[in-house]
Structure 1
Amino acid sequence: MKALLRSGNPDVARALANIVWLGLERLTQIVVAIVISGLLARYLGPGDFGKWQYANTLLLVIAPITWVCGAEILVPTIVNRAPAETGAVLGSAFVLRMGVSIAALALTWLWIAAGGTDPLVGLMLAGLAVTMLFREPFIGVINSWLQSLTFSKPQLIASMAAAIVKAALVYMLVRLAAGAASFGWLWALEAAAIGGALVLYYMRRHGGRLGWRFDRALFSHFTRAGTVFWLGLICMYLFLKLDRLMLAQRVPFAELGLYSAAQQLNENWIALALMLAQTIAPAFVYRVQEIPALRRNLVRLFAMTAVLMIAGAAVLDALAGFIITRVFGPNYAAAAGIFRWAVWLSVPAGIEAIGNLVVLKYQAKYVLLSKWLLALAVAFAVNLIAIPRFEGYGALVGLAAGYLAAAAVNFYYIRFRLRA
């Protein structure tokens, strides 16, 4: 690492700078998520907390629908077009994403009104779903522009500030004994605040004007392009939430709350693997063209990730009881057993995240789609057998099987793509 710094490589320097900012933002988000989860778990109790987690799971299954025209399409388009065309690129992407987001929100509200889920879950989801109007149309579009400049700092600062304010507002509502359904609207407020801040920043960089405009040809291109990537991401997020979706059909919400409490902490731990992959990808995978050098980098990255995840999982396993009761309170002590096993999912998740970098480097969209379809199918099949027998532990077996299937596809593709 020191040798890379001494070389004066600007790509490496930017990657390291992004590590600092992204690491700070991820740390803030993890701390805030744990604090908020602890507050809500103690305030709502296992039953209603299980409903809150289920509402969030439903949102995270629905939200990928709005990810049409993802960053893998939008960022290269911005980079390859003249600066004068940026307004047309962003404006066309905004129209497409906003149209899809409005449709997704309307369908979600109609489904809730038709009694598609538990009444309290529906009320919680009604507020949470409003985030779709701001996440991709505003935050996603402007963040793609920032990525094209290799300058994510404004978005990260806005996200950190909004997360801290959200935590304070959650604490205030808890102190005021607010209804359980009211908390979802804080997430909508957070998304609106971040989106508004980024719009103001963009306008400040462009002489006080937004300057976005609709271009029919670009709109058609964005509608067609990236569809396979989009479907792959939908499958990935459905796989990640399939455990709670299927578990909710077999156990009471109180038990789902215990499982979700353990998984809430575990997912923040796994997020470190994803953060590691995102920050090292540009300098050590995406921009490396020589096959032998890329293979060496991948071996080192796999080894480093495995060691980090195993060491961290061992510590969390040993401290599981202490961590669960300190964060969620004594009513959630039974979640410690789930957490103790769940943390070991970080090992296959981290290995999969590193292998996925090669799939993304070569834009292997059909590999990506096939991989997550396979992981989803494997997890579904295992869950059908394991959840009725082992409940929450069975859901963990399904997740582990899905991660292993996804990692196997990555390894097969790496062997094929990087063969001598």
Structure 2
Amino acid sequence: MLTLRRFANPDVTRAFANIVWLGLERVTQIVVAIAISGVLARYFGPDVFGKWQYANTLLLVLAPITWVCGAEILVPTIVRRPPQELGTVLGSAFALRIGVSAAALLLTWAGIALGLADPLVGAMLAGLAVTLVFREPFVGVINAWLQSMTFSKPQLIASMATAIVKALLVFALARAAFAPASFGWLWALESAAIGAALVLYYRRKHGGTLGWQVDRALFRHFATSGTVFWIGLICMYLFLKLDRLMLERTISFADLGRYSAAQQLNENWITLALMLAQTIAPAFVYRVQQTAQLRRNLVRLFAMTAVLMIAGALVLDALAGFIIGRVFGPAYAGAAGIFRWAVWLSVPAGIEAIGNLVVLKYQAKFVLLAKWVLALAIAFAVNLVAIPRLGSYGALVGLAAGYVAAACVNFYYIRLKLAS
């Protein structure tokens, strides 16, 4: 009867359905990303593919700048405020995000015009960077409203549909031998389409109008609240892409293309650890109030994650040559060795993701910031020594050192927090 009552609860049913859609969207994105990478890698060749991956790396380093007023601030604000103030909340958040995003785009274009990047990298980045003004201001704001209702289905369906269309367009443009710089605009088109779909959905749910207004006090609150989390996320993404940023200075773009091919597959594998953490977090960490029960849950989660990541790494290590050959082609055979070592990064990455749940549970923003600053600093120092000696493998050493440092901070915080 208890089980039946749980599933009869509309909140539980809605949350479960939301998790299913989230999982389906993530799997779709992973499959599409691998398929697109395979097409572009074969069409571009290692040298141009390396430039394409570097342009994407620069975009992913720039993107967190637009994450001001993150979901951890916006969603609770939507929930706490009465429904009649929704337009003011979303309007204030939109005004802040569109201003920051537009500034980030203009600065990116200015850097490209000044020749701060390789000409082809800059041409690719010019289109990719347009996503900055659609993702967070439009998609991010409306998605926060959907999250507040535990109903992300509209955004997830739009994301999956546009990802599949984008994959088809990438294949068509490659078959038609379009210039490499043209492909970046497909990502801009994708983000614009998702933003337009969500705006239309929101308007339909609110009588055909947005009704967004800007409140100065709320605008200032959004601009200042969550700043520590925001800076911490910027440091985290800079850490995750530091290997490619530093390798670009020491190896050829062709070698960078092979390294990036291996790492893109590996990052999709690591994403599974993050999906696992996000899925189990509410039931096993966030909602648990008893310290003893939380300790037991964490021990089990750490053990389960370690076993899963090690088992997966063993399989991927054994199949590395086959996987690289099938996805990217014979020109990327050198990426197989990198991939064999890279997949083992999933073990410390998965452990770190589980430990990070406790940091988020208690909203330990300064711990989050200190953790990623430390990981970034250690990875940078290790890369300075290891990359000149070991090349691409040295960058993997830097990533491993950073992940271990981040995990150690998590463990130290957990020990102190749960002991008190």
Structure 1-normalised TM-score? 0.97
> Which residue does 1:367 correspond to in 2?
367
2:24 is equivalent to residue 24 of structure 1: yes
> Which residue does 1:301 correspond to in 2?
301
Q: Aligned pair count?
A: 419
> Which residue does 1:282 correspond to in 2?
282
Q: Distance in 1 between matches of 2:220 and 2:6?
A: 43
Q: Distance in 1 between matches of 2:207 and 2:354?
A: 41
Q: Distance in 2 between matches of 1:48 and 1:10?
A: 51
2:180 is equivalent to residue 180 of structure 1: yes
Amino acid at match of 2:92: S
> Which residue does 1:382 correspond to in 2?
382
Q: Distance in 1 between matches of 2:250 and 2:293?
A: 49
Amino acid at match of 1:231: I
Q: Distance in 1 between matches of 2:53 and 2:3?
A: 43
> Which residue does 1:47 correspond to in 2?
47
2:210 is equivalent to residue 210 of structure 1: yes
Amino acid at match of 2:160: M
CA positional deviation for 1:4: 6.4
Q: Distance in 2 between matches of 1:408 and 1:300?
A: 18
CA RMSD of aligned residues (A): 1.4
Q: Distance in 2 between matches of 1:319 and 1:67?
A: 37
Unaligned segments of structure 2, at least 5 residues: none
Amino acid at match of 2:334: A
Checking the alignment, whether the CA contact within 8 Å between 2:6 and 2:12 is kept in structure 1 is: no
Amino acid at match of 2:397: V
Q: Distance in 2 between matches of 1:103 and 1:74?
A: 21
Change (3 A) 1:278 1:392: same
> Which residue does 2:266 correspond to in 1?
266
Matched ranges for 1:131-210 at <5 A: 131-210=131-210
> Which residue does 1:111 correspond to in 2?
111
* Cα deviation 1:185-230 (Å, max 9, x = unaligned): 0000000011111111111111211111111110010011111000
* Cα deviation 1:14-37 (Å, max 9, x = unaligned): 443333211111110011000000
Change (3 A) 1:13 1:288: farther
> Which residue does 2:353 correspond to in 1?
353
Checking the alignment, whether the CA contact within 8 Å between 1:15 and 1:283 is kept in structure 2 is: no
Q: Distance in 2 between matches of 1:223 and 1:7?
A: 39
Amino acid at match of 1:286: Y
Q: Distance in 2 between matches of 1:179 and 1:171?
A: 13
Q: Distance in 1 between matches of 2:283 and 2:210?
A: 32
Q: Distance in 1 between matches of 2:93 and 2:178?
A: 38
Change (3 A) 1:382 1:97: same
Amino acid at match of 1:328: F
Q: Distance in 1 between matches of 2:387 and 2:411?
A: 28
Checking the alignment, whether the CA contact within 8 Å between 1:15 and 1:282 is kept in structure 2 is: no
Change (3 A) 1:71 1:286: same
* Cα deviation 1:335-367 (Å, max 9, x = unaligned): 000000101101110110111011111110000
Moved over 2 A (4+): 2-19
Q: Distance in 2 between matches of 1:12 and 1:352?
A: 28
SS state of the match for residue 419, structure 2?
Answer: coil
> Which residue does 1:394 correspond to in 2?
394
Q: Distance in 1 between matches of 2:292 and 2:123?
A: 54
Amino acid at match of 1:324: I
Checking the alignment, whether the CA contact within 8 Å between 2:239 and 2:375 is kept in structure 1 is: yes
Unaligned segments of structure 1, at least 5 residues: none
SS state of the match for residue 261, structure 2?
Answer: helix
Q: Distance in 2 between matches of 1:229 and 1:261?
A: 30
SS state of the match for residue 151, structure 1?
Answer: coil
Q: Distance in 2 between matches of 1:14 and 1:280?
A: 16
